[in-house]
């Protein structure tokens, strides 16, 4: 990556959070036109046949899509499509950005690296793979503790604050060849003992991405093509943004089709097609850390919900929900008017619950 490209990534990455509504609607479906990245090629697609339509009225679906500014909504049960709708000009062949739904992909690649013997154990210290962090708040922190966001390192994930860590980490300037993720994260103080406090930190998922890339000797897209995209039967290619060092961003910003978000949910719900250790998703998709809300928790970069459901979430309304009891997957891509908020996420989860209840 040229110095000019590095500077563009460094400055533009922080601006995503402050795009206008029109910019978001245009750019979320075309991130590859805005940022450099790499591509994982699709293989033989998994067929998704039509199933019986869910008994939910068009009026209810349209009301949800309008209120949430939804670009795409898909419900799959028993491997069959029971609902598929598009808005905001998105089509079935178009990609849409994931934001933090990418975290669930990155954690899955940790599982694949464990299966391949490239990461010995999730109990390994982070500094085994990122030695630049020695002498920082990450001394004594395990890979599992950053998977569950319980490192004890202090962090501010306020998307509206230009001085928050999640904004500042995107604009850190580094020397050529230096990892911008560890360069920023090693400056952070510790506020709690490892394993004792959950705090959501995108920067730590970026570190997970660094760990995977160093352990495997492959980019996240190369490894994802081998371990997720082709085994899960994606029908379209996956685009994944890179940071100013040319590394894929572990905590954010891959782009795939709506149906491929749903295929990712199926892949995880069904156990990972032999690409991860036996029982990996049973651990990844269960509460490993409480988040202060009864019934809700956090696994290995997956959120957990009441009733045994689990899934991935991204800002501006991106989500995958997995309901194993009903063999159900819901995928949605959206352009919320703001990055996050209970006033948007709660109605989204309530509608997901309505869809799940309708799926008999």
Predicted confidence (pLDDT) per residue in 238-263, tens digit? 999 998 888 999 999 999 999 999 99
**pLDDT reported for residue 193:** 98
* Residue with the two structure tokens 């500077």: 7
Which architecture does CATH list for 3-358? 3-Layer(aba) Sandwich (3.40)
Predicted confidence (pLDDT) per residue in 51-101, tens digit? 999 999 999 999 999 999 999 999 999 999 999 999 999 999 999 999 999
Residues 224, 272: contact at Cβ < 8 Å? no
**pLDDT reported for residue 5:** 62
* pTM reported for the whole predicted model: 0.96
Question: ∠ CA(356), CA(358), CA(360), 5° rounding?
Answer: 90
CA distance 56 to 323: 18
pLDDT confidence tier of residue 14, bands split at 50, 70 and 90: low
**pLDDT reported for residue 171:** 73
**pLDDT reported for residue 336:** 98
Give me the mean pLDDT over the 171-178 stretch.
Answer: 76
Q: Percent of the chain, pLDDT > 90?
A: 87
Domain-wise residue ranges, the chain: 3-358
Question: Within a 13 Å sphere around the CA of 104, how many CA atoms are in the beta-carbon half?
Answer: 32
């Amino acid at each position: 990556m040229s110095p000019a490209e590095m500077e563009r990534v460094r400055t533009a990455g922080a601006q995503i959070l402050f795009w206008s509504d029109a910019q978001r609607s245009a750019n979320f479906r075309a991130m590859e036109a805005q940022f450099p990245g790499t591509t994982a090629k699709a293989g033989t697609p998994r067929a998704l046949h039509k199933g019986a339509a869910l008994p939910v009225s068009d009026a209810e679906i349209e009301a949800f899509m309008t209120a949430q500014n939804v670009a795409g909504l898909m419900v799959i049960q028993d491997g069959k499509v029971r609902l598929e709708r598009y808005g905001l000009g998105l089509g079935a062949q178009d990609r849409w950005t994931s934001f933090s739904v990418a975290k669930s992909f990155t954690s899955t690649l940790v599982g694949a690296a464990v299966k391949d013997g490239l990461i010995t154990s999730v109990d390994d210290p982070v500094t085994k793979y990122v030695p630049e962090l020695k002498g920082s708040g990450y001394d004594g922190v395990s890979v599992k503790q950053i998977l569950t966001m319980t490192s004890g390192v202090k962090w501010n994930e306020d998307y509206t604050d230009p001085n928050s860590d999640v904004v500042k980490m995107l604009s850190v300037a580094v020397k050529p060849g230096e990892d911008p993720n560890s360069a920023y994260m090693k400056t952070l103080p510790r506020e709690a003992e490892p394993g004792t406090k959950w705090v959501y930190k995108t920067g730590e998922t970026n570190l997970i991405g660094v760990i995977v890339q160093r352990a495997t000797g492959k980019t996240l897209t190369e490894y994802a093509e081998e371990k997720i995209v082709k085994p899960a039967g994606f029908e379209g290619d996956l685009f994944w943004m890179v940071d100013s060092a040319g590394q894929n961003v572990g905590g954010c910003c891959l782009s795939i089709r709506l149906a491929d978000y749903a295929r990712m949910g199926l892949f995880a719900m069904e156990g990972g097609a032999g690409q991860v250790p036996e029982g990996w998703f049973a651990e990844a998709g269960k509460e490993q850390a409480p988040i202060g809300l009864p019934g809700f928790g956090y696994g290995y970069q997956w959120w957990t919900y009441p009733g045994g459901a689990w899934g991935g979430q991204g800002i501006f309304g991106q989500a995958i929900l997995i309901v194993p009891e009903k063999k159900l997957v819901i995928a949605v891509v959206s352009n919320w008017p703001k990055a996050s908020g209970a006033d948007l996420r709660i109605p989204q989860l309530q509608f997901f619950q309505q869809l799940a209840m309708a799926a008999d």
